């Protein structure tokens, strides 16, 4: 009987140890799917390289999956002809003709340039969302929702201004 109790106690201890390990997991302990996606990224930099290249706010959003405050971003109410690229690597992400005013406080697009972004399930903060990241460097851009314009795609790519840069369309000579 003592042996049975000792074995049960040992199994219980091992089970608790496994739970403790999971709770201590950090952002660096990514799921295998994400690790595989990162392995295929064209731009891979160290944390120190990203910190040196990006502003503190860009680093927080692009590398730490932060979010800028609503209605504060440079591109929220900005509508000019051109293309929006990743602020970290320059990858073209959105064409200006897909941008619309969603009144949500962040730049919104109804579609991304094909192959320019990757998606990942995001269950943080008790929500079920789809995260959108740059397919070139893995930088966090924002989230995509299904409450966009029904007359186009029905999607709303809710994007942080600090994660993108606007490149104006080249003016044609007259």
The single residue of 86, 89, 137, 158 carrying the catalytic annotation is 158
> Has 16 been annotated as catalytic?
no
Of 111, 58, 60, 105, the C-alpha closest to 84 is 111
Q: What tokens does 156 get?
A: 């709303």
Of 27, 26, 48, 22, the C-alpha closest to 38 is 27
What residues act catalytically?
158
């Amino acid at each position: 009987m003592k042996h049975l109790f000792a074995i049960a106690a040992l199994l219980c201890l091992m089970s608790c140890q496994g739970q403790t390990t999971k709770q201590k997991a950090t952002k660096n302990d990514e799921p295998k799917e994400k690790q595989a996606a990162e392995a295929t990224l064209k731009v891979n930099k160290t944390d120190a390289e990203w910190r040196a290249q990006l502003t503190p706010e860009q680093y927080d959003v692009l590398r730490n999956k932060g979010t800028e405050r609503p209605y504060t971003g440079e591109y929220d109410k900005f509508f000019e002809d051109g293309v929006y690229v990743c602020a970290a690597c320059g990858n073209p992400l959105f064409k200006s003709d897909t941008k619309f005013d969603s009144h949500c406080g962040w730049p919104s697009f109804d579609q991304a340039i094909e192959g320019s972004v990757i998606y990942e399930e995001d269950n943080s903060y008790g929500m079920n969302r789809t995260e959108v990241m740059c397919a070139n460097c893995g930088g966090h851009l924002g989230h995509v929702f299904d409450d966009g314009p029904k007359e186009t795609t029905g999607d709303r790519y809710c994007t942080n201004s600090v994660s993108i840069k606007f490149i104006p369309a080249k003016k044609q000579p007259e």
